[in-house]
Amino acid sequence: MRVTRRRLLALGCALLPLAAIAADPAPPLKLVVGEMAPYAMSAGGPGPGALVELTQELGKHMGIPMDVEFYPWSRALATASLKPRTLILPVTRNDERETRYRWLVKLVRQRFVFVGLHGSHDLADTAALKRARLTVLRGTPYKRLLLEAGFTDVSECTTVRECLRMVKKGIADASYGAEDTQRSATHLDGNKENEFDFSPVFQQNEVWLAGSLDFTEEEGRKWRAAMEVLRADGSAARILRKYGVNAN
C-alpha cells in the first residue's frame, strides 16, 4: 500500500506542471473599433458601446479576454487586416472586404437612411437626392454604393459626428449611413434629434464581427455558437436595448 501511495504522489507531482499550463488564461485578443456611437464609444455613454459590450460578453462566455483599442475607422480596417489575432467591428461585408477578413459572427442588422436638416429637403424623393450634396463616413463602401446607384455628389468625412456637422453648416444636404449611428450623432454638439429629418430606409445590411485571417473557421463556429447562447438567454437583446439599438 505504501508503494502505491508513493507512486500516486510521484504521478501527482509529475502532472502539476501540466495542470499549471492548462490553467493559464488565454492571451487577450485585440479588438479594434472606430468611434461610432452607439456601437462603439470610448467615453460619454453607458458603457463601451452596444457591439463592443456584446463582443466582450461573447468573449467572456468563451473564456477569451480582449483589449479594446479605438482608431479612426480607416486605420481600424487596415489594422485588423494586417495584425495577427485582431478583431474588428462593426463591419459590413462586400466583395472588396470578403477575402481580407475572417467573418466570425453576425451581430445586428443595420438600416441605412439619409439625414438632413428638418424641412430642408424631401428625403423620400430619391430622384432629387441623386442630385443633392451627400456625405458618408470615410472607410465605408457607402460612397461607391451611392455612386453606383446614380447619386452624383458624394463626399466623405472622418466620423459620423463630422458628417452631421457638415449637414448642420450647409456644406452637405444630407448624410447617409446606419440609422442607429446617425440618430446617436444627432444628440451631440448640443443638437436635438428633432432638428433633423430621417428618410425612409434606403438599404439594409448585416453587421459582423470580423477578424484577421489567422482566425480559423472552427473558431468562427465557436463565436457563432456563443452568440446563439446569448440570443437564447436574452443577454444579446438586453445589451442592445441598453444602448437603444434595434435588435432586428
Half-sphere exposure of 215 (CA within 13 A, CB side): 27
Average pLDDT over residues 91-105: 91
Q: Provide the pLDDT for residue 26.
A: 62
- Give pLDDT tens digits for 60-79: 999 999 999 998 888 888 88
> What CATH topology corresponds to 111-204?
D-Maltodextrin-Binding Protein; domain 2 (3.40.190)
Global pTM value: 0.78
Average pLDDT over residues 110-125: 95
- Give pLDDT tens digits for 133-188: 999 998 888 999 999 999 999 999 988 999 999 999 999 999 999 999 999 888 88
Task: Answer whether residue 47 shows pLDDT above 60.
Answer: yes
3-state secondary structure of 124: coil
Contact between residue 108 and residue 207 where contact means Cβ atoms under 8 Å apart: yes
Half-sphere exposure of 43 (CA within 13 A, CB side): 0
Q: Provide the pLDDT for residue 16.
A: 41
Contact between residue 133 and residue 155 where contact means Cβ atoms under 8 Å apart: yes
- Give DSSP secondary structure letters for 15-26: HHHHHHHHHSPP
Domain map of the chain by residue range? Answer: 26-109+205-242, 111-204
Average pLDDT over residues 119-130: 95
Lowest-confidence pick of 46-50, 71-75, 152-156, 198-202: 71-75
Residue type, 81: S
Neighbours of 192 (CB within 10 A): 9
Q: Provide the pLDDT for residue 24.
A: 55
- Give DSSP secondary structure letters for 53-96: HHHHHHHHHHT--EEEEEE-HHHHHHHHHHSTTEEEEEEE--TT
Contact between residue 119 and residue 197 where contact means Cβ atoms under 8 Å apart: yes
Contact between residue 64 and residue 104 where contact means Cβ atoms under 8 Å apart: no
Distance set, CA 185 to CA 125, 150, 182 (Å):
23, 27, 5
Does this chain's domain 26-109+205-242 share its CATH topology with 111-204? yes
> 3.50.50.60, 3.40.718.10, 3.40.190.10, 3.90.1300.10: which CATH number matches 26-109+205-242?
3.40.190.10
List Cβ neighbours of 236 (8 Å cut-off, separation of 6 or more).
Answer: 54, 57, 227, 230, 247
> ∠ at Cα 175 (152, 43), nearest 5°?
145
- Reported confidence tier of residue 189, pLDDT bands at 50, 70, 90: confident
Q: Provide the pLDDT for residue 247.
A: 66
In DSSP terms, which residues pair with 87 in a beta bridge?
31, 211
Task: Answer whether residue 13 shows pLDDT above 70.
Answer: no
Q: Alpha helix locations (H) across the chain? A: 2-23, 50-62, 73-82, 126-129, 142-148, 160-168, 179-185, 217-232, 235-242
Query: What is the grid cell recorded at 115?
Result: 439625414
